Amino acid sequence: MDRIERIQTGNRVMRKIYAVDLFCGAGGLTHGLERAGINVRLGVDIDPACEYPFTVNNAAKFLLKSVEDLKAEDLARVFRKNGIRLLAGCAPCQTFSTYNQKATPDDERWWLLLQFARLVKEISPELVTMENVLRLQDQGVFEEFLGALHDAKYHVHIKTVNCEEYGIPQHRQRLVLLASKLGPIRLLSPEEFGAERTTVRESIADLPPLRAGEVHETDPLHQASILSDLNMKRIKASKPGGTWRDWQNTLVADCHKKKTGKTYPSVYGRMCWDEPAPTITTQFFGFGNGRFGHPEQNRAISLREGAILQSFPRDYEFVPPGRPIYKKVVGRLIGNAVPPKLGEAIGRSIIIHVERWTKTRKKASTGVKANAR
């Protein structure tokens, strides 16, 4: 056997897959890839708050650096020699999100995807994956990204994913891209992945009850935001799956009494026990920021509950022990994350793809030797 890095898969030998996670955030994608069996070597992000959760929960190292300043040589020494290289990432999606009504083509975040494309061109990894919001497909910058992949002779697969179908207890639609120089590649179907739909009840019903403003004594992340007297009256008047339209008029905010306000019913609501949660945003810990009210307790969901609904493990750490927990910071880390379970589906899809490629090469090699005899 030569010196190529290999792992055993059944009765076949497969080259190891080494990954770098760009825009890694708190490590949702990396955690899923690692669970699938991919060796993530490095995560890169410009946000210092990402370093602790990324490194304490995952085996990969962390680099605090803007992807714009990242050079090919920074990554070349990270990938192991003769392994199969995977460049992964989720460029900041707020620019493309339907929640962002103020983004323009001048927003510099539009072009972070092209920095991703630049690194793909400079490094030429065997594999590329990206997760993002659906609206990205409608943007010219995405066409440029695809053009760069096609020019570099990648086989590209794009899929719209309903996260709940992959066992994530949340209504969340995402765009997943897989690209390979080894041959055609695709994301596993939910059935192939072995996913089962799950609900809010199955995910968080057994967590200790909390009052608004309370912090659980053994898990500081299980804490709920304070509610004003008015919002306490509002949540008591709310029902699972309902909206502020169910309230008496004295509780309705002035902005919702205007014509424009009536088009935004998806705020000030409770989750339903026996359905997936609504999309977890960066502001999920606030009752007025969406349908983030607990199904029966008079409070918004806690930071821990939001993380669980994003499919993070229950013991995933976001803040060093004893350090202050800032809800806006942790909420951003959780809401912006790639759900780890989706990352695992992506990782398993990549491993199966490489296994099949390995098997095909082995058959071709055996055939050549037989013909030679």
In a domain, residue 230? The reply is no
Q: Is 93 a catalytic residue?
A: yes
Q: Return the percent helix, strand and coil in the chain, to nearest 5.
A: 40, 15, 45
Q: Which of 28-37, 70-79, 179-188, 198-207 has the lowest mean pLDDT?
A: 70-79
Does 214 score more than 50 pLDDT?
yes
In a domain, residue 300? The reply is no
Select which of 24, 93, 163, 272 is catalytic.
Answer: 93
pLDDT of residue 360: 85
- Cβ pair 55, 67 in contact under 8 A: no
pLDDT band at 247 (very low <50, low <70, confident <90, very high): confident
Residue 93 gets the label, from left (phi > 0), alpha (psi -120 to 50) or beta, of alpha
Work out the burial of residue 343: count CB atoms within 10 Å of its CB; fewer than 13 is exposed, 13-18 middle, 19 or more buried. buried
In a domain, residue 112? The reply is yes
CATH number at residue 187: 3.40.50.150
Answer with the residue of higher pLDDT: 331 or 360: 331
The pLDDT of 249-274, averaged and rounded, is 75
pLDDT band at 344 (very low <50, low <70, confident <90, very high): very high
DSSP result, 283-340? TTTSGGGTT-B-SSSSSBPPHHHHHHHTT--TT---S-TTS---HHHHHHHHHTSPPH
- Cβ pair 91, 112 in contact under 8 A: yes
Does 21 score more than 60 pLDDT?
yes
Does 3 score more than 50 pLDDT?
no
- Cα dihedral 89, 334, 347, 55, rounded to 10, equals 80
Domain count, the chain: 1
Domain that holds residue 20: 6-198+339-372
In a domain, residue 282? The reply is no
Q: What would the pLDDT profile of 110-142 be if each residue is shown by its tens digit?
A: 678 999 999 999 999 999 999 999 989 888 999
In a domain, residue 80? The reply is yes
Residue 20 has which token pair? 């770098």
In a domain, residue 73? The reply is yes
In a domain, residue 1? The reply is no
In a domain, residue 301? The reply is no
The pLDDT of 30-55, averaged and rounded, is 98
